[in-house]
Amino acid sequence: MPDSHRRKLEEVDGRSIKVRFSPSVKSALADLDAAVHFSEHFSSDISPILHQWATGKTPTVHEVLTALPLIAEETFQHIRKTGDERAEGAWRGLCNQMNENGYNIVKSALRHK
């Protein structure tokens, strides 16, 4: 049996790895948060998550992978129903900043299988 099959597999736990957003991403999150803050078309369950990220909470990889698509969905719903160009621009700004300046991944713990 090859050595690769004998070694224990390492599994990265997405709930123990943090995502540190850059200052420019936090600023873009704050712009989006401000644009949709009072919207009746943006989920009251998702809004606090966006606000926490915009104000500096460091989410886990699991939280980002779970919540970011929901934030996108709620943002698009808000834009479709209101035509809010500010929110649309804020979303584009967030996408650009994530791509350009993004984030750092901070490994906290590993689990072994």
Residue ranges per domain, the chain?
23-106
Query: Which pLDDT score is estimated for 3?
Result: 55
Residues facing 110 on adjacent strands:
12
- Contacts for 90 with CB less than 8 Å, ≥ 6 apart: 28, 31, 32, 34, 35, 36
Helix (H, G, I), strand (E, B) or coil at 108: coil
Identify which has the larger pLDDT, 6 or 51.
Answer: 51
Over the stretch 23-82, which tens digit does the pLDDT of each residue have? Answer: 999 999 999 999 999 999 999 999 999 999 999 999 999 999 999 999 999 999 999 999
